[in-house]
Structure 1
Amino acid sequence: MTSVDDIKARVCEAIDRAADRITALSDDILRHPETGYKETRTSGVVVEQMKQLGLDPQTGLARTGVKGRLRGRSQGPTVAVVGELDSLIIPDHPFADPVTGAAHACGHNAQIASMIGAGIGLAEVSGELDGDVVLFAVPAEECIEVDWRLGLRDQGELHHTAGKAELIRAGHFDDVDLAMLTHAGPAMLPMGVGANANGSLVKRIRFHGRSAHAGAAPWAGVSAYKAATVAIAAIDAHREMFRDEDGVRVHHLITHAGDAVTAIPARTDMEMLIRARTIEGMKRASEQVDRALRGGALAMGADVEITTAVSFLPFSDDAALVEVLEPNGRALVGDGFVDLKDLAAGGSTDMGDLGSVMPVVQPIASCGTDAVAHGNAFYTKDHVAAAVLPAKVMAMTVVDLLVDGAARARKVLDAGGPKMTRQEFVDLHDSLSTDERFSGGGLSAEA
């Protein structure tokens, strides 16, 4: 009888033989970044990679998602190895697209490569696994281009700004029981697991005023821009009132200030992200922000439209899955494997959404640079550390989960306790999504 260690050794040997293919894939995607729900080239590359594995992938899931399935020898739990397709927009990044400004400053290129790499290894042994493996390239993890994405929602094409929530809602994760994804981290961290991430709400805000000649008759106008700046000041005043335990972060952009410097602005648009460690914390901070937005409108006599939607639910690694993955990480990087459970990260990920419906784990692996993620100096410099080693740790963990009647996968599922159903997930998202128009009263008054 073949031992688990022998199976894992064959998996790693297959990944090593394909190391050049894996690193080339990571580098290719790095050099061809695409933002969320627009990842058409990247999806096409993934389709070809899956076909080389003998898979017949599903395509066009949530616009650009790609899903392939490696069949095990018997029915059992299904484990997904996930990679994210999309990039950020950072025009001064060294690998930015010169036209769109898109750039892989969060390492998603390496995620896709590690997903394919894990598939290469697991294809060698799928006939010895008691369950299936899904390779799932998912769109739109980064919460950017908010107005455009909410426009797709308004048109009925999408429900969610983030890809995994959209895929969950559409039922594309219904046939998956557990999932994993390896995220890029700094060079000082060879590999680690256990980090948490905040949930977040996204807001699209539009202040409505009245235009007037800014020099000859400014008193005849109602400044949408000034209403926005008053609201921003009020939000800043709230920052000392946010609860420490909520870990709140509020970020905003003014995406449209006005149309001409010679006219009182009649329209000012904003995008805003509100992060907190819990759903209740997200709600509390959102209510405080909404009061500030209404206050800005009231102060200047403007109107304000506030659209709120969930971008991500709070994330934490599944403890039982960590127990399975950690020995494999330590086998690969030794003392370089770090326990991150005490790290309260201020960022967010839609792995939190996936974790609300199934056990998930998201190890972190070095990208080869010590720059801060989402910055113009963060990129995949070491494709072996960022893609090949993660392919191994995920494939080895899948083997542990699905050998011997998938006993460890079943143990993880039992230990995790009840998760949300798809309908409960949809209902939660919908309950946190609101649309409001508040009148400051000035637009009804005579100019």
Structure 2
Amino acid sequence: MKKLYLLALLFGAGQAWAQTDALKAQVAKKADALQPQLVTWRRDIHEHPELGNHETRTAALIAAHLKSLGIEVQTGVAKTGVVGILKGGKPGPVVALRADMDALPVTERVAIPFASKVKSTYNGAEVGVMHACGHDSHVAMLMGTAQVLSSMKSELHGTVKFIFQPAEEGAPFGEEGGAELMVKEGVLANPKVDVIFGLHINAQTEVGKITYRPGGTMAAVNDMQIVVKGRQSHGAYPWMSIDPIVVSAQIINNLQTIVSRNLNLTENAAVVTIGSINGGNRSNIIPEKVEMLGTLRALSKADEQMLIERVKTIATKTAEAAGATAEVKIPLSTHYPVTYNDPALTEKMLPTLQAVAGTNNVALKPAVTGAEDFSFYQEKVPGLFFFLGGMPKGTDPAKTAAHHTPDFYIDEGGFSLGVKALCDLTLDYMAGKGK
């Protein structure tokens, strides 16, 4: 009897997998046919970029498209976010797919017909606005994914939740935003999400290729402020002062020992950076205080906590040794957790990525110390975040413009691959395929 039950289960699973393979064949054809439309959407969004928490035009474009597909739409989520819910014709898990919508305060220099000419205000200053990280392509690919999956709605074994997120690059100063606010407002509930997938275009990875990493793939980030207070004096009489500039220099040097002496570099990398130091206003006055601003990056929760504790200890004790004081705030305004790809989920879904791109085109990548607020979703549900090539074939990655720069450029030829990957991950997860 037990053998018959197992055979029945295997037969049922085989049928489901065969149906899924048939749907994936449809996905491939539909995604390839959508490629010109994906480029059109991306160029339109690229030409009309919007900063975080202000993506009103982009959100309206997305909402109108989803509604035209018969997808249930929620707008105004986490200020300007859009969520689409596609209920399949058969019972199954809830799979979330996410794209970020915001641009950056960068003035574009790329000579393309759809280059951004948009200007806006950021932190009180007039700035150019540019999709200098590829979020415009993420939106276009998720719009295309929604179109393909909605066309096979009756065959889906579960529900798909399309999350179009604002402010991944950070909310304006003093505001909430991004994935953290979306989670707080319940984007992973009603219906409850079982798993989430996301991708990021990469200008240093050749088009047609996919890279991934299990575990910590992008760093946790904390910004920090250190205020050193001493005693002011005339610059001619330094012995009457407690010089916060000298103390700050000692703190900066001592902070460098955290990575070199406290971190197990055979396991993970980390970063301790002071990016700003301000104090004093004349050459002959030793000031009363100095302010330093910096960033901490770590690839595990344990390393993140160690960095925070060591910075606080080093700053306060170094200052104390000189008769000064140091006040440390971590985070000052920004904290993203580690972007952590669930190892079991990554192993299970790797065959899907290899099948859609070709095994030779899928590679394990090193961890990076950049950060991603996709991590807030992964704190709540298992998630897989991977990278899609956007560099023209035959290009030297060392000579291509980096993300967040005025010369950032991507090859649009891989967009249909992004749609196939998101669709196939959804279908295979719903069917229980994988290792």
TM, length-normalised to structure 2: 0.76
Give the alignment's Cα RMSD to 1 decimal: 3.5
* 2:100 equivalent to 1:71: no
Gaps of 5+ in 2: 1-14, 120-125
Could you tell me which residue of structure 2 aligns to residue 384 of structure 1? 413
Equivalent AA in structure 1 for residue 361 of structure 2: F
Could you tell me which residue of structure 1 aligns to residue 9 of structure 2? none
Distance 2:235 2:41 in 1: 57
Aligned to 1:104, the other structure's residue is in SS state coil
* 2:330 equivalent to 1:313: no
Aligned to 1:393, the other structure's residue is in SS state helix
Could you tell me which residue of structure 2 aligns to residue 354 of structure 1? 377
Moved over 6 A (4+): 210-223
What displacement does 1:373 show?
Answer: 4.0
Could you tell me which residue of structure 1 aligns to residue 162 of structure 2? 135
The answer to whether the 8 Å contact 2:88/2:158 transfers is yes
Q: What is the aligned length? A: 392
Distance 1:325 1:93 in 2: 38
What displacement does 1:121 show?
Answer: 0.6
Could you tell me which residue of structure 2 aligns to residue 395 of structure 1? 423
Could you tell me which residue of structure 2 aligns to residue 241 of structure 1? 261
* 2:304 equivalent to 1:282: yes
The answer to whether the 8 Å contact 2:218/2:338 transfers is yes
User: Taking structure 1 as reference, are residues 224 and 189 closer, same or farther at Cα in structure 2, changes over 3 Å only?
Assistant: farther
What displacement does 1:320 show?
Answer: 4.7
* 2:6 equivalent to 1:17: no
Distance 2:390 2:291 in 1: 36
Q: Aligned match of 2:184 in 169, 176, 184? A: 169
Q: Aligned match of 1:301 in 324, 346, 349? A: 324
* 2:74 equivalent to 1:51: no
Could you tell me which residue of structure 2 aligns to residue 120 of structure 1? 147
Bigger strand share: 2
Could you tell me which residue of structure 2 aligns to residue 188 of structure 1? 206
Equivalent AA in structure 1 for residue 71 of structure 2: L
What displacement does 1:48 show?
Answer: 2.9
Q: Aligned match of 1:202 in 214, 222, 225? A: 222
Cα-to-partner distance string for 1:47-82 (whole Å, 9 max, x where unaligned): 233233233422222223211111111342111111
Q: Aligned match of 2:278 in 257, 261, 273? A: 257
Equivalent AA in structure 2 for residue 112 of structure 1: V
What displacement does 1:133 show?
Answer: 0.7
The answer to whether the 8 Å contact 1:59/1:66 transfers is yes
Distance 1:128 1:383 in 2: 30
Aligned to 1:293, the other structure's residue is in SS state helix
What displacement does 1:83 show?
Answer: 0.4
Distance 2:201 2:270 in 1: 24
The range that moved more, 22-31 or 176-185, is 22-31
Distance 1:51 1:76 in 2: 23
The answer to whether the 8 Å contact 1:227/1:302 transfers is no
Could you tell me which residue of structure 1 aligns to residue 55 of structure 2? 39
Distance 2:347 2:328 in 1: 47
Could you tell me which residue of structure 2 aligns to residue 421 of structure 1? none
User: Taking structure 1 as reference, are residues 325 and 246 closer, same or farther at Cα in structure 2, changes over 3 Å only?
Assistant: closer
The answer to whether the 8 Å contact 1:207/1:267 transfers is yes
The answer to whether the 8 Å contact 2:233/2:287 transfers is no
The answer to whether the 8 Å contact 2:170/2:178 transfers is no
Cα-to-partner distance string for 1:339-393 (whole Å, 9 max, x where unaligned): 31x62333332333322322212221111253364352663422231x3210111
User: Taking structure 1 as reference, are residues 322 and 216 closer, same or farther at Cα in structure 2, changes over 3 Å only?
Assistant: closer
Aligned to 1:308, the other structure's residue is in SS state coil
What displacement does 1:325 show?
Answer: 4.2
Gaps of 5+ in 1: 153-157, 416-447
TM, length-normalised to structure 1: 0.75
Distance 1:226 1:58 in 2: 55
Cα-to-partner distance string for 1:228-270 (whole Å, 9 max, x where unaligned): 444322212434213213411123322x725845776566544
What displacement does 1:172 show?
Answer: 1.7
Aligned to 1:346, the other structure's residue is in SS state coil
Q: In percent, how many aligned pairs have the same letter?
A: 24
What displacement does 1:276 show?
Answer: 1.8
The range that moved more, 117-126 or 204-213, is 204-213
Cα-to-partner distance string for 1:264-323 (whole Å, 9 max, x where unaligned): 656654443212221111111111212233246444735524142772323343345445
The answer to whether the 8 Å contact 1:76/1:132 transfers is yes
Could you tell me which residue of structure 1 aligns to residue 195 of structure 2? 178
